[in-house]
Amino acid sequence: MNYVARSATQKPFSIRMSARTLARLDAGARRRGEAKARTAERLIDEGLCMEDHPGIVFRDGPTGRRAALAGGPDVWEVIETVKGTGLSGEEALGAAAEWGNLTPVQVRVAVHYYADYREEVDGWILRNRQEAERQHSAWERVREALA
């Protein structure tokens, strides 16, 4: 999630928290190798997103943190599937649900998140397509080298 890009300007904010919470924040920031303020902002932003979109969680992966369905695929995967069905409306949602062994409600959760964070999700779709193309080209080069 690109929480910093969403905010055009940053403003100072002071907060008091328990020693236990502050220690956990310090430890989490050290693990991630990021500033404590950045970790706090990310966690607050993600928490607000999850509050606004029940059923959405955030996961780490090799390419960064991204929105996903709780117990399901990443939001970008669901949206790419919905778009790729060539269908619209309920038919597209039903096809995507069938693809991912999801309920229609889960697909709607992903679509609602997409409606609010289209640029972010479209970015994930684009990056994953580019990586797939890069991997395919590498496979082709290896195949040709062994021919």
Distance CA 37, CA 55 (A): 26
- Tell me the C-alpha to C-alpha distance, in Å, between residue 14 and each of 43, 120, 128: 16, 28, 38
| Token output for 143 | 């195949």
Tell me the domain boundaries of the chain.
1-52, 55-147
| Token output for 19 | 């020693």
Phi-psi category of residue 71: left, alpha or beta, with phi > 0 → left and psi -120 to 50 → alpha: left
Per-residue pLDDT tens digits for 81-98: 999 999 999 999 999 999
Closest CA to 21 of 6, 45, 39, 5: 39
Mean pLDDT of the residues in the chain: 91
Q: Kindly report the pTM of this predicted structure.
A: 0.83
Per-residue pLDDT tens digits for 127-137: 888 888 999 99
Of 6-15, 16-25, 39-48, 112-121, least confident by mean pLDDT is 6-15
